[in-house]
Structure 1
């Protein structure tokens, strides 16, 4: 019973991580659509950056790289930094979020192109996006308990702008609802009465259906946070390997994490070998991959089926949570068995 319970918890953790990362990608895609496709707003934007990496010098002289979820430079030289957080309500989580967005509030330069070229901005706003179930609490814990507390170390020059989001489905279509939290203590974006501004968009309750940004998600499948293993494993299984090697077949393939990561960077703008290894390790738990211990992995290309399940990410998660029986073997194991067979034939 204890083992079954442990597997169930691991399965739910995998699915929760997948769903959270998938939602974060959706939210970034929705804002990319708003800032680059909605004509009234897009005309005010100089550059929307999906994968910002900005080096800053701390008070002690050390240099760190901050990676918000997106940044925007407007034509008038102002800037916006966007960050998505799940936020637990305990002090450690809130203080960590405040330290993070506190660094963003001190930025003086933002990227102006995909190469990462930085230009100076003024009147920077920090937009903190949180799920709707913690929206009001976020205003209280971040702004009222910390920003407005003269004795607290979190003291940016102006309040962050906290907006909430929620996801809902209608038949086969889903939508995201975004709203600036209407608390007098909450920060506000400039020109909230001007229809051409994101401030105006967030003032009301606004829905963005998935069909508005699906074309962006198809082209930009990731966001700036480290990709979760199940999310990446699912992408590799359903998109990457079919593209690189054709449809499912009977023969396994050998892959190299560094090569996959490079292809991901070329196609989508980001990809790390360490994240690919984590995804392959998860597939190995699911019995679908094996580490050859020489920098390469053997991966199954058989059709993936599980009774009662249609979603590939769920099938992988279920198999991984049960440490499924391997359907592929590492090359060293295959070679050793071949040698044993050959010796048996000789003697």
Structure 2
């Protein structure tokens, strides 16, 4: 199986077509899966403002202005390359200003934005605020930058000799001279006709390579695939609604609720379940065992996994609670005894007779 996400929407169809036309000996290609796939620049980019408007990021006035000023234009030329008309560019700039995109993560809209200022704070932040299991925090890229910029790390991975550079997850020196990308859509007829298993999946809170554009190139604006199984919800092993799915001829499209651009990073359980059902089949994966945590227990799943830290914490809290209850009981008994002594003393004084000595 060949899998990937994001720009893999370009290179996986190209690679898969190559393997279909010129198979490698000893390699039995079964299928491919691509998450939030950047596939066709025009279709994908033109869906971004539709997504932003429908998710409450921009006003209806800005949305109508974009529809009026940017008709028949490839918005990628404005969003990424600054090559568009003044009217369209102005409408997009105003919309982005409304969305305040500097302070949100467009690849994971429901996540936080990293607000760290320097590398020292970056290193400290990780220890001060531990993350819930299976969640990638907003500053993960900062942590990676700090780690991969260290001289000993670069030497250990043989990145450079006798020099150290500041690592960046996006090298703009390269992207600025990257002037053209080809659509991957022409590759699909060949690879889908080869009988391969195919999965296209989308985290539904990624605004950049969003599910709207993906659905468009799968259907009316691109491949025009025929629906075999209509749109319906699917559920994870935790009994929670995990997203929606629709099966076309030789391809399945699935959304993952609450996931961003990198599905397994923020929805690891549902991501794992999705992949294993894709590879082994739905009936087989229903019989697999999956890890469960406290949150799944609250939501209705049976708990069979608690980490050591959680168990220790629970035991400590149990002892503290027991000690507190014991202290209350002892205090109550002591207070009752004191109260009884005071009451008896008052009654004795009030019932006493005064005697006088006769001279």
Scaled by the length of structure 1, the TM-score of the pair is 0.22
**Larger Rg computed on CA atoms:** 2
Higher relative contact order (CA 8 A, sep 6+): 2
When normalised by structure 2's length, the TM-score is 0.22
Question: Which structure has more strand as a fraction of its residues?
Answer: 1
